[in-house]
Amino acid sequence: MVILLNREKWAFRLDQIALGFLIILVVSLPVASISAVRDISIGIVFLCWLIKAILTRHWRPRTTRLEAAWIIYGALVVLSLFTAVDLGYSLNQFRGEYLKNFLLFLLVVQFVTTEKRAKAILLGITAGNLIMVSVGIAEFISQGSSLITRPEASEEFRSGWASLHSGGGTYSTYLITVFPFLLWLVVEWRKWWVQALVIILATANLFSLYITFQRGAWVAFLMMVAAAICLIPRKIWIRGICLAIFLIAVGSGLYLTPTQTLVHEEKNLHSLSQLILDPEKTIGRRFTTWRVSLGYLVDNPMIGAGFGRRSPYNKYDYYKRKETGLYWHAHNTFLNLGLELGLLGLLAFLFLLSRLLWLGWRGYQRSPLGQLPHFLASALLLMIVAVIFRNMFDDFFIDDTAMLFWFLAGVVLGVTEKQRLSGTTDSIPTS
């Protein structure tokens, strides 16, 4: 009996240690150049799970009904290694972009098993976000930057519109990824001063998103808001009114916003066709690169260049034509992944995302309205929408942004899937 109690005591302590390092991990994820902290945190959490498994003699990990999709996707990633242009690079990407994210997802699911632990993670996300937006806004103001035009990229301004992140693109992706989860305080503490703090934090995030001047992130955020309106658990006519107000607000904003803010290339611009077709313009570069990348995928639907964002660059000379102002990758996660893995690999990745979306939707339907699991499922759905649309215009589903995505997905499924297995939730009508 004493031995059993000691085992349970040590298992609890290991849970606490793992949770602490998961909080450290989620706070440090958006901060650039500290990858060692992430690797150490993941390693310690894995060690906690291993020791706990030895103590409790329970080796079977918790499952979430997403693991099969993970394995199918992983199998296609492995197959792409046989056709990789640079095998060493693809193997390194397989370790860093697949195995690490899969392991992180599994570890989060093992240790974030209760609403109390999920709240601790959410508190860490909120604290980390407060640091990021505070630093970014303070530096932006101190540098006297413009709210109308995007300044030229430079090391001096780099931290002003990217905070502590590696750049405006990744920082904007971080902001739209965590934004739905920042509203958790509204669900847990319904006091007026808490509501006021949430409004201030949300406003700071919106302002931070604006000063990144990342139009793809703006579009992703608007699509997330539209999806949030569709999730309103009221009569359909209320959703219709909210959607109409939203569309009017977006239209008014587009009309009132200065052209150079939306277009960026305010000089030597004579027509819309020039904006779209001219490869010297950022929008024209994207259209040109998408067209060529799609052509490559059609010509080689089954044979990829190997896993890793740089693999198509290593295979196709088109992406190396810097003198024409073109991009070095497809600037679209799904096109680039198709070039890396082939069409089957792309379909496997889409299956993984759609499976996650379905699990989030089931958790949203079955969780009690107004409770934390219901909020978490809603936030997961909105995050997926935002990340998908963000990566239609670039390829930021890598490194810390991808890790954060799978970390949050693990938190949500760790809580909602446990409730499903315990049978304590009921189906909640949403219309």
Q: What is the CB neighbour count within 10 angstroms for residue 190?
A: 10
Domain assignment present for residue 428? The answer is no
Domain assignment present for residue 94? The answer is yes
Can you tell me the distance from the alpha carbon of 223 to that of 17, in angstroms, rounded to the nearest whole number?
38
Going by C-alpha positions, the residue among 405, 389, 406 that lies closest to residue 334 is 389
Going by C-alpha positions, the residue among 204, 164, 223, 208 that lies closest to residue 390 is 223
Domain assignment present for residue 374? The answer is yes
Look at the chain and report how many structural domains it folds into.
1
* Residue 199, domain extent: 2-422
Q: Are 415 and 376 in contact (CB under 8 A)?
A: yes
Domain assignment present for residue 284? The answer is yes
Domain assignment present for residue 427? The answer is no
Domain assignment present for residue 430? The answer is no
Q: Are 115 and 373 in contact (CB under 8 A)?
A: yes
Domain assignment present for residue 431? The answer is no
Domain assignment present for residue 178? The answer is yes
Per-residue confidence of the chain (431 residues) as pLDDT tens digits?
A: 545 557 788 888 999 999 999 999 999 999 877 888 899 999 999 999 999 998 888 888 888 899 999 999 999 999 999 999 999 999 999 999 999 999 999 999 999 999 999 999 999 999 999 999 999 899 888 887 778 777 654 444 443 468 888 888 899 999 999 999 999 988 888 788 888 999 999 999 999 999 998 889 999 999 999 999 999 877 788 888 988 999 999 999 888 877 777 776 555 555 555 555 555 566 777 888 888 899 999 998 999 999 999 999 888 888 877 545 567 888 899 999 999 999 999 999 999 999 999 999 999 998 888 889 999 999 999 999 999 999 998 899 999 999 999 999 999 999 988 766 665 443 333 33
